[in-house]
Amino acid sequence: MKYSETHEWIKVEKEAGTVGVTDYAQAELGDIVYVELPQVGQEVKAGEEAAVLESTKAAADVYSPVSGKIVAVNDSLDDAPELINTSSERDGWIFKIALSHAEELEKLLDGEQYQSSIK
Amino acid sequence: MRTGIYDKHCVLGAKIVEFAGWDMPVYYRGIIHEHRVVRQKVGIFDVSHMGRIHVKGPDTERFLDYLSTNTIAKKKDFTATYTVWCLESGGSLDDLIVYRISQTEFFVVVNASNRKKDLEHLHRLSNRYEVIIKERYQDGIIAIQGPQAKSLVGQVFDVVDELKPMCFLPVAYHGEEIFLSGTGYTGAGGVEIYASMPAIVDLWDRMLAVGEKYGIEPIGLGARDTLRLEMGYALYGHELNEDIAPTESVSAWTVKWNKENFLGMSALKELQHSPKKRAEYGIVLQGKGIAREGYKVYKEGRQIGKVTSGTMSPSLHKAIAIILVEGKLQEGDNLEVQIRHRSCPAKVVQLPFYSFKPNA
């Protein structure tokens, strides 16, 4: 699992990554009431906004940690946006992306580096 | 700045944010959870960041009546009146509650963000009036709100049985005079308590202890905002500010035209006949998304205004918002709200968004 400085996580299996936001991010945002998911087929660059999370208080952008094409989105979040709060790093995954530049993963933080960044 | 209850908020696990220069709890367990606790049981809020100012002297009633859009003169003792204070230009200086102890003694409770401004305003305008102005800014305020609130507070102060909405009572507590008022910003009913900070800290603990059997929980500013928004109440800085006249807002009803005069009255009268006069309405989004402050509002493709406040209503499970627009709208009108890159349909509704149904 790798992490971005903007509190996204990515779990890569073969050339596809699953992306969500970290537990720290969901705690900061509070109750998520709505998720604006990306479109399947959408191309994103690393660091570009791919999704938006709406809490009762504010909207927060989710940035794609890597470049590629969106291959799947978590439709469960339409009816149960709170999955991001209750299971941010598993059932609350937001989208799956086919990586176009796998070397971008090297620039991301590992678990230890991410944990120290949020202290 | 911190209220005397700050440390306890931290111990209770509050997420603290800065609000108008104060470190306040925005939530403890979660905004939606806390919102429901207040609607269904009872919640307690620390609102000591708001400012209490006492005014007394022979001209107090006349003075406060002149400053206020609402009628202050000749009201009964121990009644509380919600009003707006205007600038000469007609813009809103603040919205607040005026508490009448007697014709010659009142106190007002103002927004945290306007503590300095309102006190200066009072001093500046008091020249022609025989009044003494004394801020009690070190004092504290707590609010106990919800269907069980009065029962809970009644366990500590049996006089609460006599307490009616928008009325208040002085009570002796630990050697000082404190006030209990039938007021609140949630629409859920309940009591607010005004006392010295040590007494407020003591009462916070006491209410949490006695309230355990009623299911009491501490409630943060996040839920305070979703609760007031469901009721269609103004939040200064959003629905009211120095560029919004009270007659253009959800608090327009406070403006009493039958008053002889009040500061800003002539500017408001002029505005009534102006095509530039705006108005505020409640809307419910018809598509997915949440309307946020600042988002543009369109009618038939033309921008008519913007959102002043918006959220997902925890009670209604719908995205609700208040908008400030040119011209007049009707209930049922179809509008569009620009949410980032897309347009979301919305419908104008009557306020309040939420109505308390006793058997629901």
CA distance A87 to B83: 46
> Does residue A52 sit at the B interface (CB-CB below 8 Å)?
yes
Q: Assess contact for B37 and B215: CB atoms under 8 A.
A: yes
pLDDT digits (tens, 9 = 90+) for B307-360: 999 999 999 999 999 999 998 999 999 999 999 888 999 999 999 999 865 544
**Given the structure tokens 């609607």, which residue do they identify?**
B39
Question: Cβ B292–A31 below 8 Å, yes or no?
Answer: no
CA distance B237 to B248: 14
Give the burial class of A90: count Cβ atoms within 10 A of its Cβ; 0-12 exposed, 13-18 middle, 19 or more buried. Answer: exposed
> Residues of A numbered 57-96 whose beta carbons fall under 8 angstroms of chain B's beta carbons: which are they?
57-59, 78, 85
Question: Cβ B340–A52 below 8 Å, yes or no?
Answer: yes
> Does residue A31 sit at the B interface (CB-CB below 8 Å)?
yes
Nearest CA in chain A to B222: A57
The H or E element containing residue A44 is strand A43-44
pLDDT digits (tens, 9 = 90+) for B272-290: 999 999 999 999 999 989 9
Q: Cα dihedral angle (A45, A80, B41, B231), rounded to 10 degrees?
A: 60
Tokens (6 digits) for B288: 């997915």
Q: Which of A31, A37, A39, A49 to mutate to test the interface with B (most CBs of B within 10 A)?
A: A31
pLDDT digits (tens, 9 = 90+) for B37-75: 999 999 999 999 999 999 999 999 999 999 999 999 999
- Chain B contacts of A36, Cβ < 8 Å? 288-289, 340
Q: Assess contact for A84 and A20: CB atoms under 8 A.
A: yes
B279-to-B17, B255, B284 alpha-carbon distances in Å: 31, 14, 17
ipTM of this complex prediction, to 2 decimal places: 0.75
pLDDT greater than 60 at residue B223: yes
- Chain A contacts of B291, Cβ < 8 Å? none
B213-to-B41, B145, B220 alpha-carbon distances in Å: 10, 15, 20
pLDDT digits (tens, 9 = 90+) for A5-61: 999 999 999 879 999 999 999 988 889 999 999 999 999 999 999 999 998 878 899
CA angle B178, B124, B242 (to 5 degrees): 90
Question: Cβ A56–B340 below 8 Å, yes or no?
Answer: no
Question: Cβ A57–B15 below 8 Å, yes or no?
Answer: no
Q: Helix axis angle, B115-125 relative to B60-67, nearest 10°?
A: 120
Please name the residues in contact with B127: beta carbons below 8 A apart, sequence gap of 6 or more.
Answer: none
Q: Which of A24, A33, A62, A78 to mutate to test the interface with B (most CBs of B within 10 A)?
A: A33
